[in-house]
Amino acid sequence: MPMTESAAEALANLRNMSHFQWYVIPFLLIVIYVYHNEARQKNWNTVFAGLALWGCDWFSEIVNGLVFHFSRYAPIWGTPGRSAYIILIGLNIEICMMFLLMGIACAIILPEDKKIKILGLPNRWFFIIFFSTLSVLVETVLNRFGALTWDYSWWNAREPWLIWIFGYAYFFVVAYWVYDMKTIKAKAVTVGSLLSFDAACLVVFIGVLKWI
């Protein structure tokens, strides 16, 4: 199959520094402020949960880039539209920082008591379902606007189950798992391992093999 038009557009703009926009700087400062504020208050559960979710997104984006590399047809999702910087074919700088903030947002809302139920569900699972569903709805709107593209028949709004499970739900499962770990050391080791694996993949697949 020939490469889709949206994939070709995203590929043409991949890591193009000429598209830089100044709004990235205040956005970055907001991210720094939020994490600094949580760390200053020693809310390590929230900090590590946020970073865990971010690490999961990086892993998914790397897999998405590899799908495009091997198919030469399209990524599972693409970001061909206007962006200050497209990092990977389905990840721009705006999405990257958004996921950093989403990780904090989904963690600070958690009750400390895991046994509390909401609408009859354990609160962790309630928020996993809530945030995953909300994320899919937002992604569907972005797709309608053309900001986020889908080119495979099995990844669309009519059959959103794969988007729900693999696009979002596991992010929140991992984030809440890290949040509930007993020790800071366990959180740090888990998140550090995840981010180190992501970083190694980026070095290999971008720097060495130039696949993504």
Q: Alpha-carbon distance 78 to 64, whole Å?
A: 9
> Taking the model in full, what pTM does it have?
0.95
Mean pLDDT of 161-184: 97
pLDDT band at 1 (very low <50, low <70, confident <90, very high): confident
Enumerate residues 6+ apart whose C-beta is below 8 A from 30: 101
Mean pLDDT (the chain, rounded): 96
Per-residue model confidence (pLDDT) at position 28: 97
Domain that holds residue 152: 5-208
Mean pLDDT, rounded, for 36-55: 98
93: confidence class by pLDDT, cuts 50, 70, 90: very high
Q: Is the pLDDT of residue 82 over 90?
A: no
> Structurally, how many domains does the chain consist of?
1
